[in-house]
Amino acid sequence: MLFDRFAGYVEQHRPDLLRALERTHLFEFPYRAHEVIGPNSFTQDDLDLFVLPFPAVAIEDGATCTFLFDTEEKAVGLEGVKRHFVDVLSVYNTDKSQYARKIPELDNFPAPKNPQEQAFQFSFGTIYHMELPAVGAGPSTYRTMGEVERLVLVDGRGEILLDMLADEVAAINPLDAQSTFRSTIGNVVTAIEELMLTTQDHELFVVEKSPVKPRVPAKGRILRSKDRPRYIMLRPQAIREKLGLNYPKGQGGRAPHERRRHWRRLQSERFTKKRGERILVEAHWVGPTEGVIGKTRYQVRLDI
């Protein structure tokens, strides 16, 4: 996984980030965002109520792994709220040609000995504003403010091929750098959309997968994806099928209406005094919330 690639880089080259990765919670999304997120999927209210489920998260989908870190406690919303990010992606499979065209300095590095060897790009930066555009500005378009601050490229062995400040990269090739940075901010926005997608649907529950016998990492080492808790989003029926649990029946033989814990803004006109306020709707789940399959424990997290 891309999470593991970045963990290896941190262990080798950035021990100052060890603590940040140790406390990062890894979310898995086994799809590409464009396959499930369409135009006008979210409202401004979704953006205003956005929160990270944990202060440090990584969202890995079929294309990238994006780390997001709150810079203030209990940060809410996306307007003027600063969050640091690291965007991780694979940049080539066979050789360095596509990157050499963009950053001439890479001509100094030999092509990988193994033709299947990949290189990985780590883009460090900050995003601090995201809002929907005015009516008529076009679907799936956000006003965003953020910046890439450093670009790192490593080979499949973790050796650094490039480590430059964004300004230095832009000085080499302004147009390609601008395109690369714009694409990176787009990846960060996509990760935020993926989190909003899961929180928007209150019938999707967060399920934590973790080893029954967790490993204790050695000093200076980061638990890899298979050894750390991972989080997926599933509906109640899929959870019970996974864990072999019977689906409970409510009154009259009907299935109970289960929901995740979520925030709701009171919109009805009958709320004469509290209209517009946010209230926390507690989770509702019926029956066992935990099960073990092989060496993996599954737990429905009702506190997220």
Under 8 Å CB-to-CB from 117, ≥6 apart: which residues?
155, 156
Question: pTM to 2 decimals?
Answer: 0.85
Q: Are 2 and 65 in contact (CB under 8 A)?
A: yes
pLDDT < 70: residue spans in the chain: 92-117, 134-140, 250-256, 268-269, 271-273
Q: Are 92 and 119 in contact (CB under 8 A)?
A: yes
User: What b/e sequence results for 103-140 when a residue is b if at least 16 CB atoms lie within 10 Å of its CB, and e otherwise?
Assistant: beebeebeebeeeeeebbbbbbbbbbebbbeeeeeeee
Helix (H, G, I), strand (E, B) or coil at 272: coil
Q: What was the pLDDT predicted at 30?
A: 75
For residue 122, give both structure tokens: 């780590």
Q: Residue 40 half-sphere exposure, CB side, CA atoms within 13 Å?
A: 6
Supply the pLDDT for residue 252: 59
- What pLDDT is attached to residue 265? 73
Instruction: Report pLDDT for 114.
Output: 59
Pull the structure tokens for residue 284: 């509702």
Q: C-alpha 275: how far from its chain's center?
A: 32
> What is the pLDDT, as a whole number, of residue 115?
44
Reading phi first (left if > 0) and then psi (alpha if -120 to 50, else beta), residue 3 is in: alpha
Distances in Å between the Cα of 247 and the Cα atoms of 114, 213, 255, 283 are 50, 28, 8, 17
Question: What ranges do the domains of the chain cover?
Answer: 2-200, 205-301
Query: Distance (Å, rounded) from C-alpha 297 to C-alpha 213?
Result: 9
